[in-house]
Structure formats: C-alpha cells, structure tokens
Amino acid sequence: MTPFDYHRPETLAEAFRIAGAIPGARYVAGGTDMMVRIRSGRERPGALISLGRIDTLSRIELGSVTQIGARTTIGQVLEHPELTAAYPLLALAARPFASVQVRNLATVGGNVCNASPAADMAPVLLALDARVEIEGPQGTREVPLDAFFKGPGQTDLAPREVLTSIVLEPPRPEARSCFLRRSRVGMDIALTSVAVHFQLAGNRLTRPRVAAGAVAPCPLRLRAVENLLEGRAVDAALLDEAARLAEGEIAPITDIRASASYRRRLTSTLVRRAITAACEESR
Amino acid sequence: MNVECTLEVNGSSTTLQVAPSARLIDVLREDLGLTGTKEGCGNGECGSCTVLLDGRPVNACLLVALEVEGRAVTTIEGLLGPGGKLSHVQQAFVETGGIQCGFCTPGMIMSATALLEATPAPSDAEIRDALVGNLCRCTGYAQIIESVRAAAELIGPGSGGETPR
Ligand SMILES: Cc1cc2nc3c(=O)[nH]c(=O)nc-3n(C[C@H](O)[C@H](O)[C@H](O)COP(=O)(O)OP(=O)(O)OC[C@H]3O[C@@H](n4cnc5c(N)ncnc54)[C@H](O)[C@@H]3O)c2cc1C
Ligand code: FES
Ligand code: FES
C-alpha cells in the first residue's frame, strides 16, 4: 500500500486549508471505499484528510427539516429510532447494507460522495427528495441529490468542498414506501435496487417518487414512472405500464454479475413489486 | 515520517511511533504483538480482522490507526478473564466445535461477543445477521451458530453480557 500522510482537522476551515495546501489530498470519512481503493492502487492520495474529528458533521436533527450529518454511519442511522420511524426507507436500505463491521464504519455522506451507481442509500434518499448541503472555502450551498450525481464516481463537489449534511423534508402524512434490492449473495453489491415513496389520498397516489440503483451511470429517479402514477389508483394495467416505462428509463450494463437484459427485467419487476408492497403497507 | 499515537487497547493505554498510513491491524499485530487479530482479505470482506471499537465490531484492516486515538479498542486477547480464563463465548466455541483451523475464530468471537452484549438472547436470524461479515471456509457455519447459541445459554438471562470496555 502506498504510504500517505494523515490529517485530523477539528474544523471545516482547517480541513479546507489542508486540502488547499497539499496537492492530491483527499477527504476520508469511514474509509470503507477509500482504503480499498488505496490498497488496490486505484487511488494514490497525496494525503488523507479525516473528517472524523469535525463534530458538526455527525449530528442528526429532526425538526422543520431533518438534517443527517454526512459523517453519520449506517450503523448510527439504525440506532436512531426517531429517524428510522420518521423515514422507514432509511432503515430498509441500512439494514441489509454490507456487514455489521462495515456499517459501523461506512458513512451516509461517503456513500453519496463515492457516487457508485450501486450505492444503497442513494435510491432511498432520491425517493425522499433529499437535498445535500455542501460547504467550501467560498461558503455553503444546497443541491438536490439528483443534481449532485454526475457519473460513476463523479459528483457536483468542487475540489475542496465537503458534503456536510443530507437534508430531508419532514415526513409526509399518509406516506407509503418500499425499498427492494437484489444481489447475487447477501454481502454483494446490488444488481438492481428500487425505492418508491408516495402518499395515499384514498386509493390514489400523490407525489410519487420512484428511484433505481445500479442500472445507469448514476442512481436515478424514474420520472416517466412518477408522472404516470401521479393521481392514479393502482390496478394491474397501471402496474404493467409502470414496469414498461421503467425499462425505457434505465441504461443498465452487462458485467460479471449480470447481463443488461437481466437487469432491465429485474428493475421492471422490482418497480411493480415495490409499488404493490408500498400500497399494501399498513400503518 | 513516523508520528506519535496513543492507543487504548484492552483497557491499557500505549504510546508508540507509527507511520501515518499504518492501519489498526498493522499496529496491533506488528507493534503491539497482538497477533490474535488476523488479516485475511485486507478489504473489509472476510471479518477475520474484527475488533471492537467502543464496543462495536469494525474491520481493523480498513481503519487508519491514528483515527482510533482516544477510543477503546478490544481485541480477542482482551476477552480473557483473570488467570487467562476464557470468556463464555470463547468457551462455547471450544466446547461446541465452532473452531476448525481457527483462522476466522477471533473475528467470529468478537462479532458474537458484541451481539450478545446488545442482544443476550438472539434468534438464529439475529445470529446470522451479526456474522454476515465473518467468513469461515472450514466449518460450514452450523457449529458456529450453535456455539453462539451455547454462549447465550452460558451467559444466561439477566446478565449484562461480558464485553470488557
Ligand atoms: C466489504 C464491503 C461491503 C460493502 N457493501 C456495501 C453495500 O452493501 N452497499 C453500499 O452501498 N456500499 C457498500 N460498500 C461500499 C462503502 O462501504 C459505502 O459506499 C460507504 O457508505 C462509503 O462511506 P465511507 O464513509 O466509508 O466513505 P470513504 O471511503 O471515507 O469515502 C468515499 C469517497 O467519498 C469522499 N467523501 C466521503 N465523505 C465525504 C464528505 N463528507 N464530503 C466530501 N467527500 C467525502 C471520499 O473522499 C471518497 O472519495 C461496501 C464496502 C465494503 C468494503
Ligand atoms: S482482513 Fe479485514 S475484513 Fe478481511
Ligand atoms: S475455522 Fe477455518 S476458517 Fe473458520
């Protein structure tokens, strides 16, 4: 493993200063992606800047908006009963995530910033209309999560910027949701994942959100499916049409885990099942 | 250039010089001589390097040693009681045949210890979930799950578990 220097700033200002002073310095949170990349030689950072001692990055606040600090681990999400009660989707994605050991290290912010097409928190955060708060030497800005992903491993972050928190709207009344994920074996990255979130007014869906992972260069919202579902009552014909539209919105690849056509079929099936399961979810 | 690092391992504090990029597993094994913690894959997949950080299982192969300064690290060596007495979980693995070659065992025992601390009477599903990140190529897992069940019996109801912090 190529050696690197390791910095542990206690404030964001100090982190920005170090990032500006050392060419090739990279931020690290839980290190579960970064350390693996360094060990394989895919990444040779000039230095690592740990975000672990910047306390403001690990708070969780529920209020007029909900803030989940970027440094919150997947394990800490599961250990926060108010948060998972307010947003059951977060727990659905966090529970099967990797292993206990990895969940205790891996952060929500790292999952998003790593921008893997298969990142498990991404579809559920997209379905929750998440925004990300970003801070850099020039100030703070907020971006909708679906504008943050730019490609595999690529985000909207400028070189010294840090993702500070995930911002969610308060939980919606009569909200229904579901997250389905398929992988070859338990601890393997998703072949396909689908998250849905909507409100039920009588039997009609309002503000539907449907997002998918591992089937395009970035995790993405399936907007044609969302538009179809708006204001409609679910029946077999609607589910058929939703499944058909979902296949048209994704661009899966063939790799060692599965073929593109298999991923396409799987996605349309998961879309159909997730909508059905969310409608049937009792509160 | 090496830097100073103070680690709290198994209840005692040690200050040593480490390379900034040294991983926790490197320092435990090479500098502190705690070779109970094993390196299998080095990539977070196999769990043979599992140690407890403030009581929670983590992969020592993914952690930079400097990152855990000021936090409590427990390794398999830290589970021994006075006079080298095995912990209930260790005892249960010995008696129930949860060990064959033994390479995965320290990691398995650390994961099981943390599980029983939080959930003294786990279901089989909870045992399996707690051990998802620990691979074993010998036992086929059945005896390991049985060992964890046996450990839960040994610890008994009403006990607060046995993780030393
Ligand atoms: C064995 C194993 C199993 C895994 N299983 C899963 C799985 O089931 N599902 C899944 O989605 N992922 C999985 N992963 C991948 C990984 O654990 C997750 O992506 C994790 O959430 C990354 O978070 P981290 O804090 O460890 O990121 P790090 O490795 O610390 O960082 C990842 C990237 O994001 C950047 N970064 C991190 N935080 C910030 C920030 N706040 N601001 C700016 N940049 C930042 C870093 O510079 C780096 O480029 C697995 C990894 C391993 C090793
Ligand atoms: S050696 Fe750490 S998980 Fe395999
Ligand atoms: S006993 Fe040999 S790997 Fe588990």
A114, A142, A168 - which closes a domain: A168
* Domain identity same for A74 and A149: yes
Question: Which residue carries 């192969």 as its tokens?
Answer: B61
Decide if B56 and A5 are in contact by the 8 Å CB cutoff: no
* Domain identity same for A213 and A139: no
Q: Is a pLDDT exceeding 60 seen at residue B159?
A: no
* Domain identity same for A96 and A131: yes
**A233 found inside a domain:** yes
**A45 found inside a domain:** yes
- Write down the pLDDT at residue B158: 58
Q: Is a pLDDT exceeding 70 seen at residue B164?
A: no
* Domain identity same for A67 and A160: yes
Residue A48 at interface with chain B, using a CB cutoff of 8 Å: yes
A68/chain B closest Cα distance in angstroms: 21
pTM, 2 dp: 0.96
Average pLDDT over residues B102-115: 98
Number of domains in chain A: 3
The mean pLDDT value of chain B amounts to: 95
Per cent of chain B over pLDDT 70 is: 95
* Domain identity same for A62 and A147: yes
- Write down the pLDDT at residue A147: 97
Residue A22: which CATH number?
3.30.43
* Domain identity same for A190 and A260: yes
Decide if A105 and B133 are in contact by the 8 Å CB cutoff: no
> Is the CB of residue B104 below 6 angstroms from any atom belonging to ligand 3?
yes
**A174 found inside a domain:** no
* Domain identity same for A62 and A164: yes
Q: Which residue from A8, A36, A104 is facing B43, i.e. has the nearest CB?
A: A36
- Write down the pLDDT at residue A281: 81
- Write down the pLDDT at residue B165: 38
Determine the structural domain holding residue A117 and report its residue range.
58-168
Residue A92: which CATH number?
3.30.465.10
Decide if A3 and B59 are in contact by the 8 Å CB cutoff: no
* Domain identity same for A136 and A116: yes
Per-residue pLDDT tens digits for B58-89: 999 999 999 999 999 999 999 999 999 999 99
* Domain identity same for A158 and A90: yes
Per-residue pLDDT of chain A (283 residues; tens, 9 = 90+): 889 999 999 999 999 999 999 999 999 999 999 999 999 999 999 899 999 999 999 999 999 999 999 999 999 999 999 999 999 999 999 999 999 999 999 999 999 999 999 999 999 999 999 999 999 999 999 999 999 999 999 999 999 999 999 999 999 989 999 999 988 776 788 889 999 999 999 999 999 999 999 999 999 999 999 999 999 999 999 999 999 999 999 999 998 888 999 999 999 999 999 999 999 886 5
* Domain identity same for A72 and A94: yes
Do A68 and A57 meet the contact criterion of CB atoms below 8 Å apart?
no
Residue A110 at interface with chain B, using a CB cutoff of 8 Å: no
**A244 found inside a domain:** yes
**A63 found inside a domain:** yes
* Domain identity same for A63 and A46: no
Q: How far is the CA of B133 from the centre of ligand 3 (A)?
A: 14
* Domain identity same for A187 and A274: yes
Question: Which residue carries 């909507």 as its tokens?
Answer: A198
CA distance A62 to A70: 15
Per-residue pLDDT tens digits for B116-156: 999 999 999 999 999 999 999 999 999 999 999 999 999 98
CA distance A18 to A102: 27
Please, which residues have CB within 8 angstroms of residue B1's CB and are 6 or more apart in sequence? Answer: B20
- Write down the pLDDT at residue A283: 56
**A173 found inside a domain:** no
- Write down the pLDDT at residue B161: 54
Pick the residue whose CA is nearest to atom 3 on ligand 2. Answer: B44
